[in-house]
Structure 1
Amino acid sequence: MRVAWRRARADLWPLLVTVLVVALTVMLTDAVPRLLVARADTAVRTAVAQADPPTDLVVTSLYGPGASDPTAGAADTTGGVDDAARRIEDALPPSLRPVLGPPVASATSIDLGFSTPGLPTGGVLWMTYLWAGQEPAVRWLDGVAPGRPGPDGAVQLALSDDVARTLGVGAGGTFQVVLPDHTTVPVLVTGVFAPQDPGAAVWAARPEVLRPRVVGPRSEPTTVVGGLLSAASLPAARAALEPDGVTRRFQFPVDPGAVDYRSSEALATQVAALEASPDVLLAPGPQPTVTSRLDLLLSQARQHVAATWSQAMVVLAGLACGAVLVLLVAADLLARRRAVALRTVRARGASLAGIAGQAGAESAVVVGAGAAVGLTLGALVAPGAVTWPWVVVILVVGVLAPPATAAVTAARSEARRVPTDRHRRRLAQRVRTVRRVSVEVALLVLAVAALAALRRRGALSMSGAADLALAAAPVLVAAAGALLMWRAVPPLLGAALRFARRSRKAGPLLAVARARSTGAVLPFVALVVVTTLVALCAALAGTVRSGQADGSWDGVGADVLVRTTTPDAALQDVAGDLAAADGVDAVAVGRVQDRSQLFDVRGVDAVRVVAIDPVPYGELLARTPFGPAPALAALADASDGATTRATPGPLPALVADPLLGTEPSLRWGDVTIDLQPVGRVPALPAQRTDGSNAGPTVVVDRAALAAVVRAAVAARAAKVGSRPVGTEQAAVDPNTVWAVGPHAATAARAAAEPVGGTVLARTRWLADRRSDPLADGLLTLLVLVAAVCAGLAVVVVVLDAAASAPGRARSLATARVLGLRGRGTARVAAGELLPPTLVAALGGVLLGVLLVGGLVAPLALRLVTGQSADPSVVLSWWAVVPVGLLTATVLVVVAVESSARRRERLGQVLRVR
């Protein structure tokens, strides 16, 4: 034990380096997967919480035709709505019950026209019964709750205070509502109320019951209000509106806090199954439907998580492999420092197994200490079960490498028989060359195969420990590239030697000679690999950061976007207000229809149609990264004749590449129009507002589209002998406004308020994307791994320099005795260490940059950046930091060695060893 302790004290710093490397690598490879799982849970919950529209599970059913009884009273409502909600809740699958909150039930009428003294222009009324465990709690300001109809047969309902003031109707007031078939139903207002809790979930089902809502253009606004039915008055409303005038809706809100990543796949599957088979929920008929966006949102979130997980696994695999190489370099250094002792022990009769056993016991203690520290730190950072795959690899290599190198070093002490026959010596050399080349070729083939598999399958296919080799593809490529670069070092040193021979000074010649004799392949490969990882992480981080900025333009299309759920002519007024606002440079208004049927084109059955005014939209695009679009000017010229068309004809359009040279037809509303391709679609936002890819796009002039639609409708009406209904213009009403400018976002919020449009600012989109838990975690991991790998590169340089230090010290000491000055010895040492280091650093940076170009697509970085296509590679400035860092490390090592040599005595230098 004392001998082992003395041996460990003599080589303490390499052992401490091993402990540090093991502890740091184990901590990261153990804690990061658990942190990713926590980030994945946060990402899924955030996606559910911020979903717009919400992901609630909604069961919808009509009452259908039947013998309605207006005098049935509350018992009919209790059985048809309240009890039905309870039955559906009880029938929910067990996996969904913890995720869904209590149901909110409603029974709402169709749109009913009306006119009152306070609203003589008329509006739309929704008569609604609400229930959330009980009817909503209200405070009666005037009158009483609605009940059964009186002798006049009027449907009784209550109005909120705001609605009553808008309509100019109080308790006891009456008015008529008009059904779509122009029949009328009398309505009696029995009371005016105020809600006990305006923020209660029950009111969210129909907010119009509390506050009127104004929709439509400013020139022709439409007021939408809600009237509150009671359990006693609902049967009368149902009877008056039969058969399909009242719809029951049972809404189950999703609790984001109850959703996590592990259960998300089962939840999505269960929701999809309910949508396909709504009868399972025992919902009242006829033909109930189940709808929810939860399955789609969870699938998108899982895809995002899978992409980030795979990207992190590639980075962690690189870190683990780099640490393994550093441990091998440290084990080799330890064996070199103990070479004399090992050979002496071997000469005295010790077996190789015994030597390996002693070294293994020491390495087990050292690696065990490092692993214990790493696992402890990992548990503090992210509590949970240990993540074993890469931890086991590091522990196995850390424990087995020192005894293996010790046994090999001890075995070299045995006398080797060298054949005297030149032919046999050449044959032995040829065998060694074939073995070396075979190993290198095998590694190269493995690297190419792993990279090809990763590019073909994509990182999203990585599912567990079985794909660790796939995750290690970049490291394998770096190692294979390092071996190829190592073969280029001797020719480079040979060329340097020819130049050194021409020098009149001995320093360059000594430096090159030392570099040729002391080079080792393992430190070189380790240095290339860790440097490649630094450049790879830097390039990935720069690509993600830049891609997120590009994705904001791809997702929004301007500095701000205003969009309504349904086309609204009032958006033309919004665009006018925006154009007149300060700080707004350009505004465009248009109609974007995500899926329109397309005919007569093989392989394309649906397109996104963008109907815009070409000139304003072209001016807007010119102020965005999309750049000027001359094709829009060509579209405007081609559409001049179509804007005044009175007879049916083709509509000029800019189309995607698959549609060029074809004669497609487009279904727009209830008419089919022929398209006349006049050019290729320019660069446009390629995403829908929900972040999905929009697919092929067709761009048309909005005025020309309106004219062609009118002509087609008029021709059809003349053919069948009818008259147009006058809704042709509404078919091309806008639903989107784009604006660019420094104050466009602020102006858009004020301008969009009257129409209730959704405002999406590009800066807000970008901030949300960059604050996303997964994207932020990935960038943090990339920076952290890059920093750790840069530190490992410094460790490799120090270990390699320490391994060759004794020989360098002897040769330089001899050179000093022969007259070489102290500064000259420093230059010789720098000339010995710098060339391989610089070749490895520059080669690693180049390999990392090239790897990023090949990994952008398979790593699915578009899911992190939010783009519809793969992002362009962007190199960060700190990708080349390893070159300067390693150069500085070599200079520091040389300075330390030179300082140590100043204390050497001449007697020590001349001593015969």
Structure 2
Amino acid sequence: MRIPGPHWPSVAGRARADAGPLLLAAVVVAVVTLLAGAVPPLLSATADAAVRDAVRRDGGDLQVHSRMEGDDGPGGSRVRHPRLAEDVDDFRTRATDELGPGLRAVLRPPVATVTSPTLKITDGSVLRTFQLAYVARDGGPDVTWIAGGPPRPTASETAAVPYGAPPWPVQVGLSEADAAALQLRPGAHISLADDQGNVKKVQVSGVFRPRDSADPAWRLLPPLLRPVAGADGTGSTRLAGLLSRESLPDARLAFGPDELRRTVWFTPDPARLTWDLVPSVAAKVVALKASSGSSGARDGSLKWETRLDGVLRKVSAQVEAAFAQASVLLVTLLAVAVLVLLLAADLLVRRRAPALTAARQRGMSLPVIGGELLLESAALALLAAAAGLGLARAVAPGVSWEWTLPVVVTAVAAGPAFGTLAAARATRDRRVPANRSARRWVRDTVRLRRAALELGVLAVAAGALVALYQRGIGGGVLPASAPALCALAGALVPVRALPLAMRLVLRRLLRSSRPLAVFGAARAAVASARVLPLLVLVTSVALASYALVFAGTVGRGIAEGPLASGLLLLAWVSAVTLPVLGLLGLALGTAAGAPERWQTLTRLRTLGLRPREARWVAAGELLPPVLVAAVGGPLLGVLLARLTSGSLALRLLTGADPAPVVPWWALGLVAVVFLAAVAVVVPVESALRRRRRLSEVLRAGDS
């Protein structure tokens, strides 16, 4: 059996006849795909920048300490250890090996330091302190000796020093700034003593100048290059002398056995840190700290200290909160876009109903009809999605396609589903029951199905709101969907109430002597029964208002930063895009009801209704749903913002829970824009319909 294929002339003819609605749907798919495809990669790039900024700003160096090996000699003496600098190098290598390759990849080359206790300068001048320091890393840091030379040994390599002996001499080098501050030259002695008054015998071997003062090694010990004020309290100034590999053993003997502090420093390299590496790096740092030896241990075990895990934990919480908050805004965009695409599909079906019915009556099967419509919608949606993703790739460092699926699937499936259903309903052989109770049962069944659907929406919205309260904003897609679902559920109230209100108004006006008001109310009562246009209007205005409140709150409460500015930009983009989608929904809803509306008005014109009065009747039909959306939408958006703001975790970016900031002027502007749209649509539509002659409308019986 031959499988019937699509009738290509019919497919092309329908596409040409309905190019306008198809183009609008393609624009919606392209724009929303652009936003949904570009925002996640942009947020990831922003997260990388936030991680680097946090590490650069808050530091987080890894420090590892280890007690030096004992230098006890025979007869209660201490022995000079000439290979002490090599032991420091071995200690640096051992610490580096313990990091593991993953952590080493994001750290700069290690720097080993050996520092003495802080000494007092006892020359009778202002309060100044001094410290002896040794700095070593691969290849440096390099210095140029502009006077004297590097520190030399002050005794034989294996000298023995009895406990209680006079101060052991040691040589140090001074930077130009420190030498000028002390007014000392090579060969001079520095008057130093520790906290117990024990004099230290320190001689200046030379004055040096760093070849690269920006070398990261100098950052660890700034007093080596220049005097540092306030390092040891208010009013104090710390200076430091540089030890060499040769003079380091003498410094060990000049102090107590455990007074020199041996440390290896690992500084994170912000350029190598990305958001994806944060979990593994943080886990490794925590493991190092957990395996660290006790600070009171007398052996040579490694003792790790760092704030890096805390810095990464804090920025991780901020990034995750920003991602979750961005997902809330993306879901609002997707929700309104899906509603608009459903409305566009409904418009296409209304326009194509006669042609689809005729094709069905001529014997075309429902699978063929659905297949033709699916080919058209799939080609259009995929081309629009490809264009959107291409633009996203041009403006973002990557493309995310997961968020685009709801819009693409809706654009592909809605039109074929609605069209096939319309064709099936138009040609089904089910007869209307003659029995009144049977007809009532059919009506009640339809009402029960609608009520069940609405109750399902309310239940899902309530569940999402409860999940948001219980799990917080980072609990998954369901909590992030709470504002959009609650806006959709809240829009069901005016959807239910407006038809009842319009019927009451019509009953009151039927007793009046104002025919224009009666005609407008009658048309409004008919139009208010259509659920989807009003649902699109109220939901879009409510979520636009929600985005405006979100943007106002973020703009006032969050300090400057990569995450804050990116989130604020997305909020404003959403606040602009959502009303545009709502206006597009208004245009689609107006176009869907235009044939029936202007057929009625044209017939009334034959009874004496003037064109200006016809425009007033048309405005009376279009204005009630727009007025409901303009008034109820902002109120619903503000209510949602107040209900959900406490669960959005803005405190992670601000340090406190900011109160919602309601920009009433912006909400009022959105309402005015929608009301003004009616004043634009009616004259435009009237001008387009004016070209139709009365005889054509009356003879055709349908526009």
TM-score using structure 1 length: 0.71
Give distance in 1, aligned partners of 2:448 and 2:35.
Answer: 39
Cα pair distance change 1:903/1:166, threshold 3 Å = closer
Partner of 1:352: 366
Give distance in 2, aligned partners of 1:225 and 1:383.
Answer: 48
How many angstroms does 1:444 deviate by? 0.7
1:237 to 251, 260, 276: 251
Partner of 2:175: 160
Is 1:895 matched up with 2:683?
A: yes
Give distance in 2, aligned partners of 1:789 and 1:101.
Answer: 47
| More moved, 525-534 vs 128-137 | 128-137
Q: Deviations 1:433-476 (Å, cap 9, x if unpaired)? A: 222211111111111111111121111233xxxx3x33222222
1:149 to 143, 154, 173: 154
Instruction: Give the CA RMSD over aligned residues.
Output: 2.4
Structure 1 residue matching 2:474: 3-state secondary structure: helix
Question: For the Cα contact (< 8 Å) 1:64–1:244, is it kept in 2?
Answer: no
How many angstroms does 1:70 deviate by? 7.3
Corresponding letter in the other structure for 1:48: V
Q: How does 1:836-847 map to 2 (within 5 A)?
A: 836-847=625-636
Structure 2 residue matching 1:459: 3-state secondary structure: coil
Q: How does 1:621-700 map to 2 (within 5 A)?
A: none
Give distance in 2, aligned partners of 1:786 and 1:530.
Answer: 10
Give distance in 2, aligned partners of 1:90 and 1:83.
Answer: 11
Is 1:875 matched up with 2:674?
A: no
Question: For the Cα contact (< 8 Å) 1:73–1:232, is it kept in 2?
Answer: no
Partner of 2:699: 911
Is 1:139 matched up with 2:144?
A: yes
How many angstroms does 1:46 deviate by? 1.3
Structure 2 residue matching 1:199: 3-state secondary structure: coil
Q: Deviations 1:744-766 (Å, cap 9, x if unpaired)? A: xxxxxxxxxxxxxxxxxxxxxxx
Give distance in 2, aligned partners of 1:336 and 1:214.
Answer: 80
Partner of 1:531: 541
Give distance in 2, aligned partners of 1:221 and 1:374.
Answer: 63
Partner of 1:332: 346
Cα pair distance change 1:856/1:357, threshold 3 Å = same
Is 1:446 matched up with 2:460?
A: yes
Question: For the Cα contact (< 8 Å) 1:70–1:236, is it kept in 2?
Answer: no
Partner of 2:451: 437
Partner of 1:809: 598
Structure 1 residue matching 2:135: 3-state secondary structure: strand
How many angstroms does 1:248 deviate by? 0.8
Give distance in 1, aligned partners of 2:676 and 2:307.
Answer: 56
Cα pair distance change 1:276/1:419, threshold 3 Å = same
Is 1:472 matched up with 2:486?
A: no
1:522 to 519, 523, 532: 532
Partner of 2:620: 831
Question: For the Cα contact (< 8 Å) 1:70–1:237, is it kept in 2?
Answer: no
Partner of 1:106: 113
Partner of 1:78: 86
Question: For the Cα contact (< 8 Å) 1:74–1:232, is it kept in 2?
Answer: yes
Partner of 1:89: 96
Give distance in 1, aligned partners of 2:202 and 2:287.
Answer: 42
Q: Deviations 1:880-913 (Å, cap 9, x if unpaired)? A: 3332222222222210122133333332243253
Cα pair distance change 1:359/1:175, threshold 3 Å = closer
2:52 to 45, 51, 73: 45
Question: For the Cα contact (< 8 Å) 2:11–2:373, is it kept in 1?
Answer: no
How many angstroms does 1:416 deviate by? 4.2
Partner of 2:282: 268
How many angstroms does 1:515 deviate by? 1.0
2:496 to 477, 487, 493: 487
Q: Deviations 1:398-420 (Å, cap 9, x if unpaired)? A: 11111111122222323542222
Give distance in 2, aligned partners of 1:441 and 1:294.
Answer: 50
Cα pair distance change 1:156/1:34, threshold 3 Å = same
Partner of 1:855: 644
User: Gaps (5+ residues) in structure 2?
Assistant: 1-7, 157-165
How many angstroms does 1:527 deviate by? 1.8
Give distance in 2, aligned partners of 1:121 and 1:430.
Answer: 96
Q: How does 1:223-302 map to 2 (within 5 A)?
A: 223-278=237-292, 285-302=299-316
Question: For the Cα contact (< 8 Å) 1:61–1:284, is it kept in 2?
Answer: no
Give distance in 2, aligned partners of 1:912 and 1:120.
Answer: 109
Give distance in 1, aligned partners of 2:340 and 2:187.
Answer: 88
Is 1:67 matched up with 2:67?
A: no
Structure 1 residue matching 2:646: 3-state secondary structure: coil
Question: For the Cα contact (< 8 Å) 1:547–1:872, is it kept in 2?
Answer: no
2:409 to 373, 379, 396: 396
Give distance in 2, aligned partners of 1:437 and 1:360.
Answer: 30
Q: Deviations 1:780-815 (Å, cap 9, x if unpaired)? A: 111112222111111111111111111111111111
Structure 1 residue matching 2:174: 3-state secondary structure: strand
How many angstroms does 1:177 deviate by? 2.8
Cα pair distance change 1:246/1:832, threshold 3 Å = same
How many angstroms does 1:490 deviate by? 1.9
Structure 1 residue matching 2:386: 3-state secondary structure: helix
Corresponding letter in the other structure for 2:509: A
Cα pair distance change 1:216/1:108, threshold 3 Å = closer
Cα pair distance change 1:546/1:136, threshold 3 Å = closer
Give distance in 2, aligned partners of 1:14 and 1:322.
Answer: 17
Structure 2 residue matching 1:461: 3-state secondary structure: coil
Partner of 1:596: none
Q: Deviations 1:518-561 (Å, cap 9, x if unpaired)? A: 3310111122222222111101001111223xxxxxxxxxxxxx
Give distance in 2, aligned partners of 1:135 and 1:363.
Answer: 67
Partner of 1:764: none
2:582 to 793, 816, 821: 793
How many angstroms does 1:870 deviate by? 4.0
Structure 1 residue matching 2:691: 3-state secondary structure: coil
Q: How many percent identity over aligned positions?
A: 40
Question: For the Cα contact (< 8 Å) 2:641–2:660, is it kept in 1?
Answer: no
Partner of 2:423: 410
Partner of 1:205: 220
Cα pair distance change 1:433/1:121, threshold 3 Å = closer
User: Gaps (5+ residues) in structure 1?
Assistant: 549-768
Is 1:29 matched up with 2:29?
A: no
Partner of 2:568: 779
Give distance in 1, aligned partners of 2:9 and 2:216.
Answer: 75
Structure 1 residue matching 2:226: 3-state secondary structure: coil
How many angstroms does 1:93 deviate by? 0.8
Structure 2 residue matching 1:170: 3-state secondary structure: coil
1:821 to 591, 605, 610: 610
Cα pair distance change 1:430/1:909, threshold 3 Å = closer
Structure 2 residue matching 1:182: 3-state secondary structure: coil
Give distance in 1, aligned partners of 2:353 and 2:489.
Answer: 29
Give distance in 1, aligned partners of 2:567 and 2:521.
Answer: 43
Cα pair distance change 1:445/1:426, threshold 3 Å = same
Give distance in 2, aligned partners of 1:789 and 1:223.
Answer: 60
1:885 to 668, 673, 685: 673
- Structure (1/2) with the larger helix percentage: 2
Question: For the Cα contact (< 8 Å) 1:71–1:235, is it kept in 2?
Answer: no
Partner of 1:115: 122
Give distance in 2, aligned partners of 1:104 and 1:832.
Answer: 78
Structure 2 residue matching 1:162: 3-state secondary structure: helix
Structure 2 residue matching 1:278: 3-state secondary structure: coil
Q: Deviations 1:367-387 (Å, cap 9, x if unpaired)? A: 122112112112222243x52
Partner of 1:568: none
How many angstroms does 1:175 deviate by? 4.5
1:496 to 505, 509, 516: 505
